[in-house]
Structure 1
Amino acid sequence: MRSETSRAVQLESFDGPAALAVREVPQPHAGPGQVRVRVTAAGLNPMDWYMTSDVDTAARFGLSLPCGFGTDYAGVVDEVGDGVRRFAVGDRVFGGALSRALADHVVVDEAGAIAAGGEAHPTPDGLDERTAATLAIAGRTAAAALAAVDPGPGDTVLVGGAGGGVGVFAVQLARLAGARVIGTGSASSADALRALGAEPVTYGDGLADRVRALAPTGVSAVLDLHGTGTVRVGRELGVPDARIATIAAKVDGITAANGASTSPERLQEIARLVAAGRLRVPIAARFPVEEIRAAVELQAARHVHGKVVIELVPGDPD
């Protein structure tokens, strides 16, 4: 007799990583216009723990208890609802399902959005599922930030928080567009930033002077992927507000990029770039789902150079 339960990471209170637990829950099933995915891996993002950090923040995202966790996933379709045309059982897919991706099974709409029904996209040949599980939020967000400042040949782009989950995409996409990239980070992240194609510069006091030394002819665009500090430096360097974007803060006059505005076609293009080896996704750490608390604590420390991935189906050892 087949099991009618499966595992899911859940919170029974909004109290940070200590409240996370792996539970046995009833298996979900695909309804009309939906597919069920057997999740292989899930990628963590800062937004995952931020959304569930307290009751008020969770409410702003429409979350209530008991609550799932995680948004990015990759896996294999194992159930198809009536009327579905794009997917069949056995198809490899990746995508996002807001605060419920960390589960053995996730049900998403055939034509949905991350925050409304969940989304699925075909996983290109040559793209492994651990890497595919990192793409939805960070890839969409980086693409939106780049679209806001539209870098190209002749541009020098200052990227604040270049070594983070969104930064690794933004740096490489800007380089593929022909721009020079200067990326902020800690001294220990310098080699990782160089490997992505950025010229590293340490953040903190005196950043504007260090950037001037690297780029005496000036910076033409700024992405602040952490807060507002790089925005202030960009303005100090004379970058116009129209060519500055944030993702994690709102500043009057500055575009706050939102990954929801990134088209499915652009996300698929990013996936194809990764599959072709033209865009690299550094995976900083992998954890089995049973170690979800340790994984989230590592992610929340904001010192990870790359992505953190949770494995629901054990992967091959590296």
Structure 2
Amino acid sequence: MAQSVRPQAGVSRAVRLDAWGGPEVLDVRDVPAPQAGPGQIRVRVTAAGLNPMDWIMTADAGTAARFGLSLPAGFGTDYAGVIDQVGNGVTGFEPGDRVFGGALSRAVADFVVIDLSGGTAAEEAHHTPDGVDDRTAATLTIAGRTASAALAVIDPGPGDTVLIGGAGGGVGVFAVQLARIAGARVIGTGSAASAGFLRDLGAEPVAYGDGLADRVRALAPDGITAALDLHGTETVEAARELGVPDGRICTIAAQVDGVPAANGANATPGDLIEIARLVASGRLRVPIAATFPIAEIRRAAELQAGRHVRGKVVIDL
């Protein structure tokens, strides 16, 4: 992986926001490097993956407050890198260990400090398995947790035919493959241009838009048994029309009366560790759609926020 200029001692490049808004409010600043205290580790970040939640929760003051954010704020949650400081009382981690995890709205920086008592996607670290590069490791936490939590609701297995709406997005690439690993048949919605991409993931592509239920019925005349809507409500509506009970439908980006919703907080650390193992073994792959240096954070955020990218967007540090 091409590396950016390494930070000076005591200084960290970090993305900062002085106002809530879109990609235009993102700036790269030199800030004092954070230091690891008791029970904490400091990670020299090598890659940070972007997710829709990054720009959603920093778009306005009300949403930011619900996530406990205040100005000035950082940006990005998924990270991967190498431990370079270990605080008193820390066990199981040493300087030089490769790690990945979550650092809520502060991952796009040269250094992040992780409090190991956190135990959530907002504050966690896991050893990066051999065979998983840092760019890939930096994409796993939010999308992997969210896909695992959503699949736990519908519990796919052999004999199931699962309809996944938004199958080519950041969460979709995990959900499709995990459902296939569980033994289910997967039909994934996307644009006509994404059909080949979805087939490569293991899904049978179907175009989204008006008439979705009819197109799914033609692909699966014996019916579908479960559905994930990873974008809005279109897939929910089609699944209901095709007779799927609400208990086997799940959303992540919309609330629908009677339909369960899931997010990454509902997953367990064990889910994420298993995903990393699947990546290391070659059974699950994470398509990297684009990489950017930290200096191009605005361009990267614009691409990710467009919601048409296939796979993940990663910042190299």
Alignment TM-score, normalising by the size of structure 2: 0.96
What residue number does 1:295 align with? 300
Is 1:42 aligned with 2:48?
yes
CA distance in structure 2 between the partners assigned to 1:129 and 1:115 by the alignment: 18
Instruction: Supply the AA of the counterpart residue of 1:306.
Output: G
Is 1:100 aligned with 2:101?
no
What residue number does 1:18 align with? 24
Q: Structure 1: give runs of 5+ residues left out of the alignment.
A: 313-318
Q: Number of residue pairs matched?
A: 310
What residue number does 1:236 align with? 241
Identity of aligned residues (%): 75
**Structure 1 residue corresponding to 2:134, chosen from 122, 129, 134:** 129
What residue number does 1:255 align with? 260
What residue number does 1:29 align with? 35
Query: Does the aligned pair in 1 maintain the 2:57–2:63 contact within 8 Å?
Result: yes
Tell me the secondary structure at the aligned position of residue 62 of structure 1.
coil
CA distance in structure 1 between the partners assigned to 2:121 and 2:220 by the alignment: 40
Shift of 1:250: 1.1
What residue number does 2:227 align with? 222
Instruction: Supply the AA of the counterpart residue of 1:169.
Output: F
Tell me the secondary structure at the aligned position of residue 124 of structure 2.
coil
Query: Does the aligned pair in 2 maintain the 1:97–1:114 contact within 8 Å?
Result: no
1:215-269 CA distances to partner (integer Å, 9 max, x unpaired)?
0000000000001111111101100001000011111111111211211111101
What residue number does 1:78 align with? 84
CA distance in structure 2 between the partners assigned to 1:135 and 1:9 by the alignment: 21
CA distance in structure 1 between the partners assigned to 2:145 and 2:97 by the alignment: 22
Query: Does the aligned pair in 1 maintain the 2:23–2:301 contact within 8 Å?
Result: yes
CA distance in structure 2 between the partners assigned to 1:263 and 1:109 by the alignment: 17
What residue number does 2:209 align with? 204
Shift of 1:3: 2.5
Is 1:245 aligned with 2:216?
no
CA distance in structure 1 between the partners assigned to 2:131 and 2:114 by the alignment: 24
What residue number does 1:87 align with? 93
Shift of 1:6: 1.0
In 2 relative to 1, CA 115–271 (structure 1 residues): closer, same or farther, beyond 3 Å? closer
| Equivalent residues in 2 for 1:53-72, closer than 5 Å | 53-72=59-78
What residue number does 1:276 align with? 281
Query: Does the aligned pair in 1 maintain the 2:121–2:264 contact within 8 Å?
Result: no
Instruction: Supply the AA of the counterpart residue of 1:70.
Output: G
In 2 relative to 1, CA 205–219 (structure 1 residues): closer, same or farther, beyond 3 Å? same
**Structure 2 residue corresponding to 1:286, chosen from 291, 308, 315:** 291
Tell me the secondary structure at the aligned position of residue 142 of structure 2.
helix
Instruction: Supply the AA of the counterpart residue of 2:135.
Output: R
Instruction: Supply the AA of the counterpart residue of 1:230.
Output: T
Shift of 1:111: 3.4
Instruction: Supply the AA of the counterpart residue of 1:204.
Output: G
Instruction: Supply the AA of the counterpart residue of 2:44.
Output: R
Shift of 1:115: 5.8
Shift of 1:71: 0.3
More displaced 10-residue stretch of structure 1: 103-112 or 277-286: 103-112
Shift of 1:203: 0.2
List structure 1 runs of 4+ shifted beyond 2 angstroms.
113-116
Over the aligned positions, Cα root-mean-square deviation in angstroms equals: 0.9
Query: Does the aligned pair in 2 maintain the 1:17–1:297 contact within 8 Å?
Result: yes
Instruction: Supply the AA of the counterpart residue of 2:43.
Output: V
Instruction: Supply the AA of the counterpart residue of 1:19.
Output: V
Shift of 1:5: 1.4
Alignment TM-score, normalising by the size of structure 1: 0.96
Instruction: Supply the AA of the counterpart residue of 2:113.
Output: V
CA distance in structure 2 between the partners assigned to 1:49 and 1:39 by the alignment: 20
What residue number does 1:315 align with? none
Is 1:190 aligned with 2:195?
yes
CA distance in structure 2 between the partners assigned to 1:109 and 1:184 by the alignment: 39
Query: Does the aligned pair in 2 maintain the 1:86–1:110 contact within 8 Å?
Result: no
Query: Does the aligned pair in 1 maintain the 2:40–2:87 contact within 8 Å?
Result: yes
Shift of 1:43: 0.3
Query: Does the aligned pair in 2 maintain the 1:98–1:114 contact within 8 Å?
Result: no
What residue number does 2:3 align with? none
1:48-95 CA distances to partner (integer Å, 9 max, x unpaired)?
001111122111211111000000000000000000001000000000
CA distance in structure 1 between the partners assigned to 2:115 and 2:204 by the alignment: 41
Q: Structure 2: give runs of 5+ residues left out of the alignment.
A: 1-7
